[in-house]
C-alpha cells in the first residue's frame, strides 16, 4: 500500500516560508531520514499539511512509525485492491491493522467466484450465492441440497448474513468484494 504525505517544517510554515514537499511512503528508512532532515532539519518539528491515503493521518504523526506500519502492511500478502476494500469498509487504521495481524477478517472476490454465472441476477442475489458457494452461509444447519438451490431466495440470504454476520459489499477498481471483520 502506497500513500503520499506533504511534509513541511512547522516553524517555517508558521512564519509563512513554505518549504515542504510530497513524499511517497513506504520508502527505505535511511532515505526517509535523509529527506526528513533536508525538509525539517535536525531538532525541528514537522507538520503533515496534506495526505493521500485510505485512512486519516494526523498533522503531527510520526512519519517513521507510519513508514514502518506501511512496510508491515506491504508484507501481509494482500494486494492493493483488497487493502483498499478493507479500509473502505472500516476506515479505522488501528482496527484494520489488528484484523490483518490476527487474521480476523474475511474477504471474497465476488467477480472471481461468480465468473460464468447468469449476469441477469441482481447484486444481492449474487452476493448471497457467493457466500453460499464459499461456505459462509450459516443460516442452515446443513448445506443446501442441489435440487433446492433454484428455490432459494439468495438476496434474502445475503440480507440476513449482512445483518447478522456483518458482510458488506465494496467496489474497488471495477472489482466487487465482500468483506467482514
* Cα separation, 134 vs 179, whole angstroms: 13
Q: Report residue 71 as a C-alpha cell.
A: 512496510
C-alpha cell at 129: 450465492
pLDDT, tens digit, 9 for 90 and up, residues 65-78: 999 999 999 888 89
pLDDT of residue 157: 93
pLDDT at 120: 81
Answer for the pair 146, 128: CB distance below 8 angstroms, yes or no: no
CA distance 174 to 161: 23
Report the pLDDT averaged over residues 134-142: 83
Q: Would you say domain 3-75 falls under CATH 3.40.50.300?
A: no
* 3-state secondary structure (DSSP) of residue 181: coil
Note if the pTM is more than 0.85.
Answer: no
Place of cell 503533515: 48
Domain range list for the chain: 3-75, 106-180
The tens digit of pLDDT for each residue in 34-92 reads 999 999 998 899 999 999 999 999 999 999 999 999 999 988 889 999 999 999 999 99
pLDDT single digits (tens) 155-173: 999 999 999 999 999 999 9
pLDDT at 140: 78
pLDDT of residue 19: 87
Over residues 6-32, mean pLDDT: 95
Summarize pLDDT for 102-125 with one digit per residue, the tens: 999 999 999 999 998 876 889 999
Amino acid at each position: 500500500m502506497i500513500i503520499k504525505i506533504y511534509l513541511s517544517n512547522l516553524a517555517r510554515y508558521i512564519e509563512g516560508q513554505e518549504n515542504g514537499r510530497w513524499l511517497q511512503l513506504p520508502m527505505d528508512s535511511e532515505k526517509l531520514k535523509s529527506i526528513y532532515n533536508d525538509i525539517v532539519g535536525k531538532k525541528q518539528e514537522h507538520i503533515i499539511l496534506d495526505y493521500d491515503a485510505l485512512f486519516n493521518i494526523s498533522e503531527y504523526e510520526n512519519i517513521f512509525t507510519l513508514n514502518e506500519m506501511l512496510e508491515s502492511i506491504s508484507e501481509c500478502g494482500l494486494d492493493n485492491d483488497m487493502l483498499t476494500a478493507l479500509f473502505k469498509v472500516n476506515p479505522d487504521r488501528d482496527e484494520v491493522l489488528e484484523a490483518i495481524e490476527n487474521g480476523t477478517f474475511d474477504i471474497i472476490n465476488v467477480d472471481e467466484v461468480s465468473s460464468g454465472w447468469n449476469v441477469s441476477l441482481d447484486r444481492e442475489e449474487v452476493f448471497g450465492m457467493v457466500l453460499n458457494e464459499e461456505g459462509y452461509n450459516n443460516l442452515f444447519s446443513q448445506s443446501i441440497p442441489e435440487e433446492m438451490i433454484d428455490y432459494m431466495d439468495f438476496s434474502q440470504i445475503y440480507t440476513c448474513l449482512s445483518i447478522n454476520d456483518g458482510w458488506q459489499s465494496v467496489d474497488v477498481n471495477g472489482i466487487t468484494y465482500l468483506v467482514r471483520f
